[in-house]
Amino acid sequence: MAEPVTLTGLITGFVVLVWLLGLLLIVASIAATVFWILMLIDCAKRDFKDKVAWLLIIILLHGLGATLYYFIIKRPADKKATKP
């Protein structure tokens, strides 16, 4: 038969779960920050009409602004550049 679950075992499992979720949150935060910085650099280097507006959008909206920039400006421009 299986051993009964003890309070110590439940607390230990909960602490491990919280620790793993915290670690996952830290890794996700670092990845989001790196993505934000890369989109900011790309926007600053790229030559296009609304550069200042997009820089402000990326800076003020952080992850959302960087994601919008990626899908609206960077991705379509990269697709055009790779077409023969």
pLDDT tens track of the chain, all 84 residues? 778 889 998 999 999 999 999 999 999 999 999 999 999 999 999 998 999 999 999 999 999 999 999 999 998 888 887 776
| CA-closest candidate to residue 69, choices 82, 81, 56 | 56
pLDDT of residue 84: 67
CB 75 within 8 A of CB 64: no
CA distances from 5 to 12, 14, 18, 19 (A): 11, 13, 19, 21
pLDDT of residue 51: 94
pLDDT of residue 37: 97
pTM: 0.80
